[in-house]
């Protein structure tokens, strides 16, 4: 069950054009502690800009903790990391040992969440890595992505989660951990009910998936899901199909451009069953879509880092904000509708039924290959 707290202010941030200035401003205003945890921290114009803000904060005495993923940041130059550390930024790497030749589950457990907390007063949660929106293959228009700025009573749970993970990784590296400062209770700054939902490999293994399933199963009018990497398990697929068959409009906004070949074609193996059940599928073509958001009944909404695929739902550390607020949900829904109308292509069942046998065979071969790999690493047989 999702635990909502009242009196929060949740601000929707669209793409890096809104997210990075807000993040940078919060870093500059921090007075004693910053935690930033991200999958990718790129050495590009944005990485240098946010890195510079972190270094300036450390130099003025703020305790700055940067945790990055070993795979997502495997190309981050050592020189850049040393520059951060020399300025006083504490840098830790989550699971630095990576290998393309292993299928051990531990190597696949990545830090995929994107969370930042400053002084226990403001937090950011979403799907946006520290990377320039234009840093995409072929320099296409900016990728589509979302984050939220969080203020209010939700802050202690977010801060506790980032501190707990930082402490665990630091102790594993035999690094000392500064005693944290006791914070005053956050003020009631808004009128939004919201929840912080994590996925880890201990006490919160299925929290994000269960939050989605509960909302889908209780939907009465409309479900809109925009997700970059969409390969849901059987329970999730059944929930969507069941919702459609009971008269709920179900809309999927998915990635239309090929970013990861195997996942792209495996996802398409599911299209026919969805379309036959009356589910709308829109493929976003205008640029790369990195979104991990949903809106249900113009009331329930989520923004976060979790894809709806095996890596996010069963292996990676993820974090989502769930909001129960009509104004926020309608704002996000309107933005998704704009993306659908301006940059997506609607797929139809008749068209899909007439695709060539080579294309159809490719989708099912990739889907079954991914199922086979999941079996090798011990995924539950729910795909």
Q: In the chain, where are the structural domains located?
A: 7-192, 194-376
Residue 98: pLDDT above 50? Answer: yes
- pTM above threshold 0.85: yes
Residue 383: pLDDT above 50? Answer: no
Residue 186: pLDDT above 80? Answer: no
Q: Which residues contact 141 (CB under 8 A, 6 or more apart)?
A: 286, 287
197 burial class (0-12, 13-18, 19+ CB within 10 angstroms)? buried
Per the prediction, the chain carries an average pLDDT of: 90
Express each pLDDT in 333-353 by its tens digit: 999 999 999 999 999 988 777
More confident residue, 142 or 220: 220
Residue 381: per-residue pLDDT: 47
Which of 256-260, 279-283, 298-302, 306-310 has the lowest average pLDDT?
Answer: 256-260
- What would you report as the CA-atom Rg of the chain, rounded to the nearest whole angstrom? 21
Phi and psi torsions of 380, nearest 5°: -65, 150
More confident residue, 336 or 106: 336
d(CA 369, CA 350): 27
Looking at domain 194-376, which of 3.40.50.720, 3.30.1180.10, 3.30.870.10, 1.10.600.10 is its CATH number?
A: 3.30.870.10
Express each pLDDT in 210-219 by its tens digit: 999 999 999 9
Top-ranked range on mean pLDDT: pick from 125-139, 305-319, 361-375: 305-319
The pLDDT-based confidence of 376 (bands split at 50, 70, 90) is low
Contact 254, 290 (CB under 8 A): no
Express each pLDDT in 221-275 by its tens digit: 999 999 999 999 899 999 999 999 999 999 999 998 877 767 777 778 888 899 9
Residue 51: per-residue pLDDT: 98
3-state helix, strand, coil in the chain (%, to 5): 40, 25, 35
Residue 131: pLDDT above 80? Answer: yes
Helices and strands (H and E) in the chain: how many: 13, 15
Residue 84: pLDDT above 80? Answer: yes
Express each pLDDT in 42-62 by its tens digit: 999 999 999 999 999 999 999
Catalytic residues: 112, 114, 119, 290, 292, 297
Average pLDDT over every residue of 87-105:
79
Q: Do the domains 194-376 and 7-192 match in fold? A: yes
Q: Over pLDDT 70: what percentage of the chain?
A: 89
Residue 372: pLDDT above 70? Answer: no
CA distances from 378 to 200, 330, 362, 375, 382 (A): 17, 40, 24, 5, 11
**Class of 7-192 per CATH?**
alpha beta
């Amino acid at each position: 069950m999702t635990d909502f707290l009242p009196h929060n202010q949740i601000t929707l941030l669209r793409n890096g054009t809104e997210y990075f200035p807000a993040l940078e401003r919060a870093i500059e205003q921090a007075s004693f502690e910053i935690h930033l945890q991200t999958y990718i921290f790129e050495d590009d114009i944005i990485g240098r800009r946010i890195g510079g803000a972190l270094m300036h904060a450390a130099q003025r005495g703020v305790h700055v903790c940067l945790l990055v993923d070993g795979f997502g940041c495997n190309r981050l130059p050592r020189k850049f990391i040393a520059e951060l550390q020399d300025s006083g930024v504490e840098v830790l790497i989550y699971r630095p040992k990576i290998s393309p030749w292993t299928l051990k589950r531990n190597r696949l457990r990545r830090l995929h969440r994107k969370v930042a907390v400053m002084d226990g007063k403001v937090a950011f949660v979403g799907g946006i890595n520290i990377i320039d929106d234009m840093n995409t293959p072929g320099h296409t228009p900016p990728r589509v992505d979302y984050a939220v700025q969080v203020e209010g009573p939700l802050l202690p749970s977010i801060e506790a989660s980032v501190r707990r993970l930082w402490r665990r990784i630091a102790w594993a590296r035999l690094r000392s951990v500064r005693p944290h400062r006791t914070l005053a209770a956050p003020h009631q700054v808004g009128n939004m009910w919201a929840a912080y939902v994590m996925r880890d490999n201990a006490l919160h293994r299925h929290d994000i998936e269960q939050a989605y399933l509960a909302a889908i199963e209780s939907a009465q009018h409309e479900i809109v899901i925009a997700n970059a990497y969409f390969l849901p398990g059987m329970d999730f697929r059944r929930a969507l199909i069941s919702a459609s068959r009971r008269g709920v409009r179900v809309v999927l906004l998915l990635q239309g451009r090929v970013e990861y070949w195997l996942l792209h074609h495996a996802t398409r193996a599911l299209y026919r069953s969805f379309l036959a059940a009356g589910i709308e599928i829109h493929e976003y073509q205008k640029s790369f879509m990195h979104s991990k958001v949903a809106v249900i009944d113009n009331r329930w909404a989520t923004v976060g880092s979790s894809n709806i695929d095996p890596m996010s739902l069963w292996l990676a550390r993820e974090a989502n904000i769930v909001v129960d607020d009509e104004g926020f949900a309608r704002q996000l829904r309107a933005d998704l509708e704009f993306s659908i109308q301006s940059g997506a292509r609607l797929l139809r069942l008749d068209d899909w039924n007439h695709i060539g046998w080579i294309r159809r065979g490719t989708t099912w071969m990739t889907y079954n290959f991914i199922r086979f790999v999941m079996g090798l690493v011990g995924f539950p047989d729910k795909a």
